[in-house]
C-alpha cells in the first residue's frame, strides 16, 4: 500500500511501513492541509495523521481521496501505533481504504464513511 505520513506522526512509522513492504513518504513540515490532501490524491496515498481537521468530511469528502487514517492513540508511542496499524492492515482486501475515513484506536478502528 502507498501511505503519506503527516508531519505530526512519529517518523519511525515510515521505517516500519517500509520494512513491512509498503510505500511510505512523509509530507514536508509546514505543508498546509489542502496541499497534503492534494498530494495524497495525486499519488493515490492513504494519509496517516493525528490532525482532526482531516475528519471534517465537508472539507475533505471521503470519496475524493485514497483514504485517511486518523490516529487516536494516546500516548502515540511506536509500539502502540504499529500494533494498531498491523491489525488494520490485516483486514480482508474487500474492506479497502479508498474513500474512507478510519479512526484508529488502541483496540480497534472505526469506519466513518
Question: What pLDDT, in 10s, does the model give residues 72-88?
Answer: 999 989 999 999 999 99
Please state, in angstroms and rounded to a whole number, the distance separating the CA atoms of residues 40 and 44.
6
User: Structurally, how many domains does the chain consist of?
Assistant: 1
User: Which domain, by its residues, includes 82?
Assistant: 2-111
Q: How far apart are CA 85 and CA 79, in angstroms?
A: 10
Instruction: Say whether pLDDT at 16 is over 90.
Output: yes
What percentage of the chain reaches a pLDDT higher than 70? Answer: 96
pLDDT band at 51 (very low <50, low <70, confident <90, very high): very high
In this predicted structure, the answer to whether residue 30 has a pLDDT above a threshold of 90 is yes
User: Per the confidence metrics, is the pTM higher than 0.85?
Assistant: yes
Compute the chain's Rg from CA coordinates.
13
- Picking from 37, 49, 67, the residue whose alpha carbon sits closest to that of residue 13 is 49
pLDDT band for 21, please (50, 70, 90 cuts).
Answer: very high
Q: Which of 56, 72, 75, 73 is nearest to 64 (CA)?
A: 56
Q: What is the pLDDT of residue 106?
A: 87
Report the CATH number that the domain containing residue 55 is assigned in CATH: 3.40.50
Confidence category of residue 62, pLDDT binned at 50, 70, 90:
confident
- pLDDT tens for 64-76 read 999 999 999 999 8
Residue 61 Cα distances to 10, 41, 49, 85, 99, angstroms: 26, 12, 16, 23, 8
Amino acid at each position: 500500500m502507498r501511505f503519506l505520513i503527516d508531519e505530526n506522526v512519529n517518523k519511525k512509522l515510515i521505517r516500519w511501513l517500509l520494512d513491512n513492504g509498503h510505500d511510505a513518504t512523509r509530507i514536508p513540515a509546514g505543508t498546509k492541509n489542502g496541499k497534503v490532501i492534494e498530494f495524497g490524491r495525486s499519488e493515490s496515498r492513504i494519509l496517516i495523521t493525528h490532525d482532526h481537521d482531516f475528519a471534517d468530511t465537508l472539507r475533505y469528502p471521503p470519496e475524493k481521496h485514497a483514504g485517511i487514517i486518523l490516529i487516536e492513540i494516546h500516548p502515540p508511542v511506536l509500539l502502540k501505533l504499529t500494533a494498531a496499524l498491523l491489525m488494520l492492515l490485516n483486514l480482508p482486501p474487500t474492506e479497502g481504504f479508498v474513500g474512507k475515513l478510519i479512526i484508529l484506536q488502541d483496540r480497534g478502528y472505526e469506519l466513518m464513511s
